[in-house]
Copies of this chain bind each other. A is one copy, B any other.
Amino acid sequence: MSRKVFVSAKDVAERAGVSRSAVSRTFTPGASVADETRKRVVEAAEALGYHVNHLARGLMRNESGLVCLIVSEIDTPYRANLIRELSRQLQNVSKIAMLINTDRADKNVDDALRLAISYRADASIVLSGMPDKSITDLCVKSGQRLVLINRDEQREGALMINLNDRDAARRAFIAFLRAGCRSMAFANSDAGTPSLVAREQGFCEAAREHGVEVVIERFGPTRYQSGVTLAQRLLTREKRPDAIFCANDLLACGVMDTARHQFKLSVPDDLCVLGFDDIEQSSWSSYHLTTFAQPVEKIAQKAVSWLAQPSLTDDHSCKLTAELIWRGSVRGG
């Protein structure tokens, strides 16, 4: 396997009859180089197919241009959407996303972060799992920026982007109440991630304050199939719920489908359903799911602008609000 075939600045310099530095300067924005020289260099570079070696450049500048995205279940609609937005915005500031898939186990998040350090990533964005404090400290100490999205926990020096899950969940309860629902349930996976837990707690809290009892059911991963199981459990209860708040839209889709097709219930007449995320499927006419929208674009914007700014500000925490999108799965609205 002959690999050593990339053309280097030296090759270009020779062909253009200038020094290496002239070549380097030509490809460094804002460096001073004569028009004539630049022209000759560019010509030679194009003829040879020269491209600046970003590895070597990163080595010198101590800035690789790489940003690490640490994420599991990439194929989930909300995650995929966020990844798309992040990669797009990173490219706008001339950074490039390295994708690290942590599907196998949560311990992998630590390994992923280590990998990010090895590649001298300028920053890491954690979308899944929670890294150990020792490793995040190392990141920060190494001068690597760290963004935690919906991770809740506190980490020195990192930017934490969170949603007002609790408040949203309270609004969900109120919405059900206004729709005339009296027998409410919360359908959760047993993933136990911070945002899922916060939604559950917010909902129950609000219910307690209004003296309403709510049934909680938890099962499996945060996916459609779990929604199916959850609906089967909830809808066969002696006292059938007339409203189910689902921890996210994927669960809600499973719940709705099961309620309609297996239990022949009408949504929203017999059962009101509320979700979270506002994935694309929620707007499909089979669902018309009323749900809370994650401000994906804004999240990406916060993350990218923070890690791209030259010097860090003091405020490392950022709370965004999930907006309620009214569609047809809850009466009223």
Contact = CB atoms under 8 A, between A and B. Distances in A.
Contacts of A286: 253, 257, 260-261, 286-287
A49 B141 contact: yes
Q: Is the interface of A mostly helix, strand, loop or mixed?
A: mixed
Interface string A222-246: 0010001000000000000000000
A288 to B, nearest CB: 9
Interface in A191-212: none
A115 B261 CA distance: 50
B117 A6 contact: yes
Given A1-B310, A4-B62, A103-B88, A280 B143 contact: no
A285 B310 contact: no
A52 interface: yes
Given A55-B56, A74-B87, A75-B77, 7 more contacts: A5-B143, A6-B62, A51-B117, A55-B55, A83-B99, A88-B101, A91-B101
A54 B98 contact: no
A268 to B, nearest CB: 15
Interface residues of A, number: 69
Nearest to A115: B96
A55 B51 contact: no
A84 interface: yes
A143 B51 CA distance: 14
B74 A84 contact: yes
A21 interface: no
A84 B75 contact: yes
A79 to B, nearest CB: 8
Given A54-B118, A285-B257, A143 B64 contact: no
Q: Please name the 4 residue pairs, one residue from A and one from B, whose CB atoms are nearest each other, closest first.
A: A80-B80, A74-B84, A286-B286, A87-B101
Contacts of A120: 6, 53-55
